[in-house]
Structure 1
Amino acid sequence: MMHRVAGAPLAFAALRSQLEVPGDFAPAVRAEAAQSAQTVELPPEDATDVPFVTIDPAGSRDLDQALHIAASGDGHLVSYAIADVAAFVRPGGEIDSEAHRRGETLYFPDTRVPLHPPELSEGAASLLPNQVRPAVLWRIELSGDGSVRSVDVRRAKVRSTAQLDYDGVQAGLDRGTLPDPIAALPDVGRARLALARKRHAINLALPEQSVTGDGAGGWVLALRTTLPVEQYNAEISLLTGMCAAQVMLDGGIGILRTVPPPDKGAVQSLRRAARALGISWPDGAPAGDVLDSVDRSDPRHVAFIEHAVALLRGSGYTPFNGAPPSQPLHSGIAAPYAHVTAPLRRLVDRYGSEICLALRAGIAVPDWVRVALPELPEEMQKADHLAHEVDRAVVDATEAWLLRDRVGDVFPAVVIDADERAGTVVLDSPAVRARCAGADLPVGERIQVRLVTADVDQREVRFERADSSQL
């Protein structure tokens, strides 16, 4: 569901200023990036004979991963090439210092604010098609059921043969015409999803609000559901992150992405929500299994998933050097996990890759990595917080602009959560999600709501339940 923002005068540049988003890179950073792009050394190992492909949103230039899957016995060999950002970044240099200040790439409808200068992130370090690039190459051998048989990681030069996008790959999957390098992606993806269910992973997979250009000078506000091929591709990244975490735990040094197990209160609250919404929760069934069984097209089930967000609170980054952390799990994945697959867009991944490379090569982890480990959690938490603020502010501003001339109008909506005095509703169209005043709003049911506030400057939209006289 989508709606164009008429005239598209939204000032995303002003929004960047309000949120104190980093601006252009300083000349010294750009100069170092240009020099690095010209002088980078390629690793001696040659994997350019592997016909890798990339799969990203259409139009992307910052390509972190390239994939190839081949049959191997009764299973598969997953070759996953990750952009080798460390090959371009001098520890303590201008690019490195700026990357620590930024933490991660930020995305706006009209532009991206990259972690690294575009000379690298959209040029020399990006795994663009038909270009030889330095990469961190993971080779993961899987059994027929998707479980890991062996893991290898090393530096190599690679060449992507094609830049694919999600919609095109999904169309190929639907037609049965996937390119050879990823023909087995659905099989591997489904096998890994089945293993996730055996681990009782907690997969929320809610539709996301997004704001994108419509190609005609306007903007589109939409609720976007993840395509099956996106889920399969994400499983390759999750697989690699899980392997990286195990390498770190075995080697006694690393930095994990952790989420603590849900507390009993959150689970009990979700059980109460299930009863109220008429959702079956068999005795002894883990929360993740119940979530996997719901119908995401049913408003009551979507409301149930909204409640389940409380199960995955407390995320963070946990470094260790020596004894493993007392709580090493990412409870959404139901396994230890580390970020290593998006170094162009996320600072911590460069460090995770260097640790794994050193441990697998049997050499000391570089000093510049060890020294940085204690500071990375705070840097990444700050960057994650800003990224969340940006995402929310973009959607809130768009919602308010879209509805600015419709105060007093009545809309059909679904209640997705509620307390004694108010709740949250999602309109049928446009795809707005906002607070709604009203006692005892019926969670999971459709009601009529009246728009009472649409403040563009404050990025605020508010509704109230409409009584019969307003219909």
Structure 2
Amino acid sequence: MRRGQMHMSPDALDALLKGLQQLRAELKASTDFPVHVLEAAEAAKAAVRLPDKDATHLPLFTIDPPTSKDLDQAMFLERRSGGGYRVHYAIADVAAFVKAGSPLDAEAHDRIETLYFPDLKVPLHPPSISEGPASLLPGQIVPALLWQHDLDADGNVTDSTVSRAKVRSRAKLDYNGVQQDIDAGTAEEPVALLREIGKLREAVEAARGGVSVNLPDQEVTLKDGSFRLSYVKALPVEGWNEQISLMTGMAAARIMLDSGTGILRTQKEQTDERVVRRVHGIAKFLGIDWKPGVSYAALVNSLDPADHKHMAFLSEATAMLLKAEYTTFRDRQIPDHTGHAAIAAPYTYCTAPLRRLIDRYTGELCVAACAGRVPPSWVVEALNCLPCDMARGKGKVADRRAVDLAEAAVLKNRVGEVFAGLVINTDAEDDNPKEGMVQLTEPAVMGRITAGARLHLGESVQAKLTRADPFFSGKNKILFNAV
């Protein structure tokens, strides 16, 4: 799933900067690194050794937002003689710079992942590494984990392998430019093939029952004293690009399963009928026609995330129906459940090591397995702890709280109004059934709700807005009272 970003116009950002700074303080998210970590980064840059394998002849290219400098992935796509395709996919080799037990490693285990805010990002690694010699920026020779995927004419993967290599990206492309070139028919073949391969992979995904959601970017603007929240629909090229990453994550999972040691991102189907009924209730409340016999995957793939009500459903239903976790295994003790329900296949994270801790470990496991070697001891020893480490990540919380801030700004001039809402959660489990969460239809936002009587899941309520304060200290910036 592509996670949309939030953007703010300059005027909106100026007006809400205090709230963003407050949010980062609450999350203890700092862009600054300790001096000893910065010193370790400089030492790591000086000591890095390039792999012996030379793949600098591959004319790799990256596709990222124009301002991005921490480039995790670069690709080169080509047709195979006799039919089918070959995908060369280079992933930044963070382990070449971040050694186990080093100050850089300790800091990464503290941060877990890069956090994104409308005005800035809080990086996982010092920018002197992540935006420098570890990044797949054009023109520089860097160490990488180089994947090679062979696909048949229908887009099915027939073989995947990965090894260390030194690479050099030739071009830094952006999504808008690539989309325009592909649509105009002016893209060079390695770039144009992204559409061809991406569409084939989307068809393969649909056939196996996978769910693919590319959430739109959100944009907050300020005009005449009022904030407005709008959605910018993801470009098709973003979905095609995501398919290359998903394909690699599935290949990595299969390699680890075959080797008998690894860590997967697993997800079971939701079997709690109460949760399923609640999600169906949210769909009905938001005017989404979920016909009998239509699977969750088919419904999700039919929705338009640029529609506010569809976006609200996707955000809440995904959280309720699909609970993901990390599953580790070693010594060929394969767990009973290895699949990922949304992807409809075994899957792992492995394509964003500059921005996510776990990817450094999965990359090492796959390189070792493909080389027929025992994985490094520092990787195997960390397996038991990695699920707990990743659970400490603040990325989803930061995203949700940024949305809460924006929605509070949009509603701040409407305090006292009454809205139609649906109770989608209660605190009954905490012995407080008079509080919970409410989903509105218009605007399609969520907020905290209190009531004088017991709240019941799935009931329709009239919700009076009592607070919409983007600068409120805490997570309940929006508060309703049932009337």
User: Taking structure 1 as the reference length, what is the TM-score of the superposition?
Assistant: 0.85
Q: What SS does the aligned partner of 1:74 have? A: coil
- Look up the match of 1:397: 405
Q: Conserved in 1, the CA contact under 8 Å of 2:263 and 2:328?
A: yes
What is the identity, as a one-letter code, of the residue corresponding to 2:41?
A: A
Q: What SS does the aligned partner of 1:124 have? A: coil
- Look up the match of 2:35: 27
Q: Conserved in 2, the CA contact under 8 Å of 1:306 and 1:417?
A: no
In 2: Cα distance, 1:398 partner to 1:324 partner = 44
Q: In percent, how many aligned pairs have the same letter?
A: 42
Task: Identify the range of structure 1 (62-71 vs 176-185) with the bigger mean alpha-carbon deviation.
Answer: 176-185
- Look up the match of 1:8: 15
> Do structure 1's residue 86 and structure 2's residue 92 form an aligned pair?
no
In 1: Cα distance, 2:74 partner to 2:233 partner = 24
Q: Conserved in 2, the CA contact under 8 Å of 1:202 and 1:288?
A: yes
In 2: Cα distance, 1:463 partner to 1:160 partner = 52
- Look up the match of 1:454: 468
CA RMSD of aligned residues (A): 3.5
Q: Conserved in 2, the CA contact under 8 Å of 1:6 and 1:402?
A: no
- Look up the match of 1:226: 234
In 1: Cα distance, 2:48 partner to 2:222 partner = 36
- Look up the match of 2:156: 147
What is the identity, as a one-letter code, of the residue corresponding to 1:41?
A: R
Deviation at 1:20, TM superposition (A): 1.6
Deviation at 1:324, TM superposition (A): 1.2
- Look up the match of 2:367: 357
- Look up the match of 1:469: none
In 1: Cα distance, 2:72 partner to 2:228 partner = 27
In 1: Cα distance, 2:400 partner to 2:282 partner = 26
Deviation at 1:273, TM superposition (A): 6.0
Q: What SS does the aligned partner of 1:331 have? A: coil
Q: Conserved in 2, the CA contact under 8 Å of 1:211 and 1:394?
A: no
- Look up the match of 1:288: 297
Pair 310,28 (structure 1): closer, same or farther in 2 beyond 3 Å: closer
In 2: Cα distance, 1:416 partner to 1:171 partner = 41
In 2: Cα distance, 1:171 partner to 1:417 partner = 43
> Do structure 1's residue 195 and structure 2's residue 204 form an aligned pair?
yes
In 2: Cα distance, 1:251 partner to 1:372 partner = 17
Residue correspondence of structure 1 range 109-128 to structure 2 within 5 A: 109-128=118-137
Pair 94,45 (structure 1): closer, same or farther in 2 beyond 3 Å: same
Deviation at 1:361, TM superposition (A): 0.3
Deviation at 1:414, TM superposition (A): 8.9
Q: Conserved in 1, the CA contact under 8 Å of 2:309 and 2:441?
A: no
Pair 426,116 (structure 1): closer, same or farther in 2 beyond 3 Å: farther
In 2: Cα distance, 1:53 partner to 1:302 partner = 32
Q: Conserved in 2, the CA contact under 8 Å of 1:52 and 1:181?
A: no
Q: What SS does the aligned partner of 1:14 have? A: helix
Which of 425, 428, 443 is the matching residue for 2:440?
A: 425
- Look up the match of 1:18: 26
Q: What SS does the aligned partner of 1:115 have? A: coil
Gaps of 5+ in 1: 467-471
Q: Conserved in 1, the CA contact under 8 Å of 2:250 and 2:345?
A: yes
Pair 297,396 (structure 1): closer, same or farther in 2 beyond 3 Å: closer
Deviation at 1:289, TM superposition (A): 2.1
Please list the CA deviations of residues 183-210 of structure 1 after superposition, one character each: whole Å capped at 9, or x if unmatched: 1111111111111111111334444545
Please list the CA deviations of residues 125-184 of structure 1 after superposition, one character each: whole Å capped at 9, or x if unmatched: 000011111100000000111111111210111111111112222222322222332211
What is the identity, as a one-letter code, of the residue corresponding to 2:348?
A: A
Pair 138,20 (structure 1): closer, same or farther in 2 beyond 3 Å: same
Q: Conserved in 2, the CA contact under 8 Å of 1:47 and 1:158?
A: yes
In 2: Cα distance, 1:31 partner to 1:305 partner = 44
Q: What SS does the aligned partner of 2:384 have? A: helix
Deviation at 1:261, TM superposition (A): 1.8
Q: What SS does the aligned partner of 1:308 have? A: helix
In 1: Cα distance, 2:121 partner to 2:8 partner = 22
Pair 142,27 (structure 1): closer, same or farther in 2 beyond 3 Å: same
- Look up the match of 1:174: 183
Please list the CA deviations of residues 11-38 of structure 1 after superposition, one character each: whole Å capped at 9, or x if unmatched: 2333222222245211111111112112
In 1: Cα distance, 2:228 partner to 2:372 partner = 51
Please list the CA deviations of residues 399-438 of structure 1 after superposition, one character each: whole Å capped at 9, or x if unmatched: 334554x144869x8968768997323656xx96546799
> Do structure 1's residue 263 and structure 2's residue 271 form an aligned pair?
yes
Pair 104,419 (structure 1): closer, same or farther in 2 beyond 3 Å: closer
Pair 99,298 (structure 1): closer, same or farther in 2 beyond 3 Å: closer
Which of 39, 45, 50 is the matching residue for 1:37?
A: 45
> Do structure 1's residue 156 and structure 2's residue 173 form an aligned pair?
no
Deviation at 1:344, TM superposition (A): 0.4
Q: What SS does the aligned partner of 1:82 have? A: strand
Deviation at 1:108, TM superposition (A): 1.8
Task: Identify the range of structure 1 (220-229 vs 389-398) with the bigger mean alpha-carbon deviation.
Answer: 220-229
Q: What SS does the aligned partner of 2:398 have? A: helix
> Do structure 1's residue 136 and structure 2's residue 145 form an aligned pair?
yes
Q: What SS does the aligned partner of 1:154 have? A: strand
